[in-house]
């Protein structure tokens, strides 16, 4: 073989890629060893299961059929990114409270006064699409998280206020008012975060991006699609195209900052339970969004006995205080949404069933904060 032929062959084996692609590959490889992306153990366990399913034993040669794909080494599916959807079948089911807790965990320091908190010490972007994300409530949840994670109630008020102020300075809140506004906000987000003169988060990585209510613009985008001309190859369905653009912008941000995306959503159908205690809820979003999500959670509230059908007004008034306390003490639960489980990666369903409670978790919402488990 001549030197020219050898050089041509070796050159053909060289793979070209941009520097950002190389750095992204190195970061992705390094992050495989990272077991905590959220800082909340129940959610981290579930997310890791869906991102990195447990390996399955390869079949023996007597069971192997060469005409079928090897189920133990199926790599045809594209790997998922850390995207979580939190939905419920009813309002006031704990979605927003869980978002507060996720945001608080993302911005609190990893170590404070020599104590490990288990938090992420990053920055958070909140896309408050329904104008319901309350910063005062977030501050209360932050304060509760500090006391719980440091296991102390002796934190001096000046120290607590300073820690709260530092944490809140790393929460970037935007309130888009329309579907185009949401897309334009995402498109300008990278320039905002890279402009270190406009915020205090330059020393921190972007840990989490939160969409407070993905279904806020659902009906508006459906209406726009219904009023648009008939779709064809040149003019795709505006409803699907909008969410495809949304996913593309979120993917670009995630690729740039390596952050977790958490979106809340409102279900439109009743819950469906199986005898095994598995629950499913049909998603209202188009397929392009459902394929984008790695982990889908359903949250709900523990049942509280209602007033009896024959109760009088006087009896209701007397029991009002007892019922209020019962509502405050009632808990919330979270479970994986099994809708579409047939499309999960091999090993996910088995791994989920092997977790205590099938991967379910609980949390309590109180006036002073939120407690997990």
What digits encode the pLDDT tens for the residues 320-348?
777 666 666 679 999 999 999 999 999 99
pLDDT of 73: 46
Q: Please give the structure tokens belonging to residue 323.
A: 């019922």
pLDDT of 225: 84
Cα 39 to Cα 207: distance, rounded to the nearest angstrom: 10
Residue 23's CB is within 10 A of a number of other CB atoms, namely 10
Residue 285's CB is within 10 A of a number of other CB atoms, namely 18
Cα 15 to Cα 3: distance, rounded to the nearest angstrom: 20
pLDDT of 66: 46
pLDDT of 54: 86
pLDDT of 236: 77
Residue 342 DSSP label: G
The ranges of the chain with pLDDT < 70 are 1, 6-7, 10-15, 17-34, 56-78, 151-154, 231-234, 304-308, 323-329
Q: The tokens 């790997």 sit on which residue?
A: 79
Q: Please give the structure tokens belonging to residue 269.
A: 């159908």
Alpha-carbon torsion 231, 232, 235, 238, what sign?
Answer: positive
Determine which helix (DSSP H) or strand (DSSP E) holds 46, and give its type and residue range. Answer: helix 41-51
254 close to 208: Cβ distance less than 8 angstroms: no
What digits encode the pLDDT tens for the residues 89-106?
999 899 999 999 999 999
pLDDT of 6: 67
């Amino acid at each position: 073989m001549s030197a020219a032929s050898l050089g041509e062959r070796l050159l053909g084996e060289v793979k070209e890629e941009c520097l950002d692609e190389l750095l992204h590959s190195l970061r992705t490889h390094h992050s495989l060893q990272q077991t905590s992306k959220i800082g909340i153990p129940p959610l981290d366990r579930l997310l890791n299961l869906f991102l990195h399913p447990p390996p399955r034993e390869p079949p023996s040669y007597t069971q192997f059929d060469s005409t079928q794909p090897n189920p133990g080494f199926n790599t045809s599916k594209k790997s998922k990114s850390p995207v979580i959807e939190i939905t419920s079948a009813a309002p006031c089911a704990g979605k927003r409270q869980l978002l507060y807790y996720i945001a608080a965990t993302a911005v609190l320091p990893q170590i404070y006064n020599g104590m490990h908190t288990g938090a992420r010490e990053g920055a958070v972007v909140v896309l408050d699409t329904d104008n319901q994300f309350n910063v005062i409530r977030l501050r209360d949840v932050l304060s509760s998280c500090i006391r719980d994670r440091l296991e102390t109630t002796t934190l001096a008020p000046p120290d607590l206020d300073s820690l709260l102020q530092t944490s809140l300075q790393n929460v970037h809140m935007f309130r888009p008012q329309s579907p185009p506004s949401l897309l334009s906000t995402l498109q300008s987000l990278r320039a905002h975060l890279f402009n270190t003169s406009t915020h205090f988060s330059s020393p921190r990585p972007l840990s989490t991006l939160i969409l407070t209510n993905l279904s806020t613009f659902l009906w508006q985008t459906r209406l726009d699609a219904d009023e648009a001309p008939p779709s064809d190859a040149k003019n795709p369905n505006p409803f699907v195209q909008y969410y495809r653009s949304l996913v593309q912008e979120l993917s670009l941000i995630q690729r740039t900052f390596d952050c977790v995306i958490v979106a809340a959503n409102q279900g439109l159908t009743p819950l469906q339970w199986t005898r095994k205690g598995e629950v499913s809820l049909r998603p209202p979003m188009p397929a392009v969004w459902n394929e984008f999500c790695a982990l889908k959670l359903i949250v709900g509230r523990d049942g509280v006995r209602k007033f009896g059908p024959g109760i009088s007004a006087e009896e209701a008034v007397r029991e009002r205080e007892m019922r209020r306390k019962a509502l405050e003490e009632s808990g919330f639960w979270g479970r994986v949404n099994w809708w579409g489980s047939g499309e999960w990666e091999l090993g996910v369903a088995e791994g989920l069933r092997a977790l205590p409670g099938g991967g379910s978790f609980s949390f309590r919402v109180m006036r002073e904060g939120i407690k997990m488990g």
